[in-house]
Structure 1
Amino acid sequence: MTSKKEEAARLAAAALDPALMPRLERRTPRIAMNRVTDFTGELEKVERDLSEAQRRLALHDGALATRKLAADSIKASKFANRIAGSFEGPSFETFKQEILSAGGNVQPIKVRRIGPNYEVVFGHRRHRACLELGLPVLAMIQEDMSDKDLFEEMSRENEQRKDLSAYELAMHYRRAIDLKLYRNWSEIAAVLGKTKSLMSRYSALAELPDAVVNAFRSPSDIQPKWAEKLRQVIDVDSAAVISAAKAIAGKSLPPKAIYEALINRSAQKFTRVNFAFGTWNETDKKATIDIDKAAIGPEKLESLRAFLASLQSESSPG
C-alpha cells in the first residue's frame, strides 16, 4: 500500500470513528510543543551565559591591559613608602623565592609612563624582587597620571596590604607634604577619608627624631598609639629623650620596653633649653635665664621684669 493510500485509510478510519481524531490531532502539536520547549530551554541557557559574560566584563570595566616590562625600565616612586627593611631579611627572601618559582610576579604591579620609562604606582616589593632576580615585571600601564592621582591610588592600595607598617604609612603621607603635593595633614585626611585623630598619630610618628626611631630594632615596631606620648615627652625635654634613646639603641629590648624607657626616663640633673631670645638653664635646685636684650626688645623685657616682680610679691610673707 502506498503512502497516499495509507493516509487515505487513516482519514477514513477517523471519519468512521471520531474518537480517533483527537489522537491524530494531538500527535503533531505534541511534537511541536517538545521542539518549542527545547528551543526555549536553549535560549534561556544562552541568555544566562550572556548575562554571566556581561557580569565578568563589568568587573574589568576600565581595567588596563597587562604586559611584561624590563624591570630596569621601571623606577621606584618618589612617594614610595617602603623602608629599607622591606627589601631585605628572611621575609623578603621568601617572597623572592615565591616569585622565582612562579616565573615572575603573578599579581601585576601598576606603573605610569614617564617618557620612555615607567614609575611604580603600587607594587614596589614585587618590582624589587623581579629586579634582583633578573625577571621581567608583569605590569598594568597608566599612560597619563598626575602626582595626586598616583599618591591617592597608592595610598588606597596600601591600605589593603597587611604587611605595611604604620610608620611606613606615616612617612608616605609626610612625603606628600614635603613634596608640596598637599599643604598639611588635615588636607590628606580629607582626601583619603581619614579622621583627624588618626592622622594626628601618623603625624606624630613621622615627626619622631631619628635618634628615637633608631632606638627601636625596626621603625615598624613603633605602635601608633605610642607616637603622641613620645611627642609629648620630646616637647618637654627633647635633649633628655634623645640622650636616653642613644643609650638604648642597639640593645636587645622588646619594643614596649624601649617605649617605656623613653617616656619614664629618670630625672635629669641638668636641663638646657634654647630659645630665640636666650637660653634656659635648670638644675635640680635652680633655674636661670640668659636673655639677649636685642632679641626680646625693651617692651617685652619690661613686661618680664613686671612679671618677676609679681612673683616676688606673691612669695613675700603677708
Structure 2
Amino acid sequence: MAAVTKSLGDLNDRSRRANEIERKLAEGQAVIELNTEEIEPSFVRDRMPGDIDGLLASIREQGQQVPILVRPHPEMSGRYQVAFGHRRLRAAAELGLSVKAVVRELTDEQLVIAQGQENNEREDLTFIEKARFAARLKERFPREVLTSSLSIDKGDLSKMLAIVDSLPVDLIEAIGAAPGVGRPRWLELAELVEKAPPHLDAAGYVKSAEIQTLASEERFKALIAHLKPRRVERGAPSVLATPTGVRLAQVKDGRAKLDISIDKKAAPEFAAFVLEQLPTLFEEHRTKRQLNQEG
C-alpha cells in the first residue's frame, strides 16, 4: 500500500510540475476561449489512439483547469495549431465546450520543443509513443531539437530511434501504446521480429481479431510469447498451445522419435493442414541444411 501511495504521489507531483511549466509558458499571456473547430493538431503527432474517460469526467465536473497552448496557424488564416493540450482539446470538443487557450507566436522548433517537454514532464506518454514522436521529428529537425524536446541525450535518442526503425509501422500501431512497456522489452520484441521465421507473421498475428480484443500491453505480451522459440523437453508429453491458451498438440520428445499428437476432433482442419505441409517443411529444411553446408 505504501508503494501505491508513493506512486500516486509521484504522479501528482509530475502533474503539478507539468501544470507549472504550462503556466510559465503562458505567463504574461491572456487566456482566451476558442472554438475547438478552429484548432488544428500539431504537425507532429505524439500520441496513439486511447480513451480520455478520466479527463472527460474531470472537465465535466470541474471545468478545464489548465489552458492549452496554441499558435496562429502558419498556413491557415484565422485558425490555430496546438503546441500542447491535445487531449484537453479533444475532451472539450466531445463535451461541446469551447477550450481555454493561450495564443503565442511560435516557430516550428519552438512548438515541438514545448510539445515534447510538456509531455516529458507529465510522463504520460509511453516509451513507444515517445520513440515515434522522435522519429517524426527526425524527418524535419536536427538532432539537437529532438534531444531538447525529449530531454534525453544523443545516445538514448539513437537507441530509441533504432527500435522504431527496426519494427514495421503497422505492427507498432496494431500493438498500440503499450503502457508499462519500456525500452528493454521493445528491444526484445525487435530482436524476435528480426529472427522470426516468415510463417509466424508477427503483424498478422497481432492484428488478428482474437488478439485485438486484448488491452494494448496484453497484445504486446501475447506477441512476445508467439515469437519466442519453444523447446520441447524430452520425457513426459508436453502440450503446445497458443499464447491465448488454445491447445494445438501434445508432443513427446524421446531419444529415438518425436511424437506429435493432434486431436482431430478439436482441430480437424489444423491436423489436415499440418499433414499437407510436412513434405514442404522437409524440403525447406533440406534446402536450408544444404545452404549451410555450402556456406
Fold shared per TM-score above 0.5:
yes
- Aligned partner of 1:111 in structure 2 is 70
What is the deviation of 1:244? 4.0
Calculate the TM-score normalised by the size of structure 2: 0.60
Distance 1:190 1:60 in 2: 16
Distance 1:240 1:190 in 2: 42
The higher-RCO structure (CA 8 Å, 6+ apart) is 2
- Aligned partner of 2:161 in structure 1 is 203
| 2:110 counterpart (132, 142, 149) | 149
What per-residue deviation string (whole Å, max 9, x for no partner) do you get for residues 76-115 of structure 1?
A: 1111312122xx3xxx12311221222x411111001123
| 2:42 counterpart (77, 80, 85) | 77
Helix, strand or coil at the partner of 2:100: strand
Helix, strand or coil at the partner of 1:283: helix
What is the deviation of 1:66? 1.2
What is the deviation of 1:246? 2.2
Helix, strand or coil at the partner of 2:71: strand
What is the deviation of 1:140? 1.0
Helix, strand or coil at the partner of 2:138: helix
- Aligned partner of 1:96 in structure 2 is 56
Larger Rg: 1
Distance 2:146 2:111 in 1: 14
- Aligned partner of 2:91 in structure 1 is 129
Structure 1 runs (4+) deviating above 6 angstroms are none
Distance 1:206 1:225 in 2: 13
CA-atom RMSD, angstroms? 3.6
User: Against the structure 1 CA distance between its residues 62 and 226, is the aligned structure 2 distance closer, same or farther, given a 3 Å change threshold?
Assistant: same
What per-residue deviation string (whole Å, max 9, x for no partner) do you get for residues 248-298 of structure 1?
A: 54334835632532541459x99xxxxxxxxxxx932333999xxxxxxxx
1:170 aligns with 2:131: yes
Distance 2:178 2:168 in 1: 15
Residue 120 of structure 2 contacts residue 151 of structure 2 at CA under 8 Å; is this kept in 1?
no
- Equivalent residue letter for 1:172: F
| 1:232 counterpart (191, 200, 210) | 191
1:66 aligns with 2:34: no
What per-residue deviation string (whole Å, max 9, x for no partner) do you get for residues 113-140 of structure 1?
A: 1231110000000011111111111111
Calculate the TM-score normalised by the size of structure 1: 0.56
| 1:158 counterpart (102, 119, 130) | 119
Residue 244 of structure 1 contacts residue 261 of structure 1 at CA under 8 Å; is this kept in 2?
no
- Aligned partner of 1:189 in structure 2 is 147
User: Against the structure 1 CA distance between its residues 162 and 128, is the aligned structure 2 distance closer, same or farther, given a 3 Å change threshold?
Assistant: same
Identity of aligned residues (%): 23
Structure 1: 5+ residue runs without aligned partners?
1-58, 271-281, 291-307
User: Against the structure 1 CA distance between its residues 110 and 215, is the aligned structure 2 distance closer, same or farther, given a 3 Å change threshold?
Assistant: closer
What per-residue deviation string (whole Å, max 9, x for no partner) do you get for residues 220-240 of structure 1?
A: 244321222222333344735
1:257 aligns with 2:221: yes
Residue 74 of structure 1 contacts residue 119 of structure 1 at CA under 8 Å; is this kept in 2?
yes
Distance 1:196 1:289 in 2: 44
Distance 1:67 1:98 in 2: 20
Residue 68 of structure 1 contacts residue 139 of structure 1 at CA under 8 Å; is this kept in 2?
yes
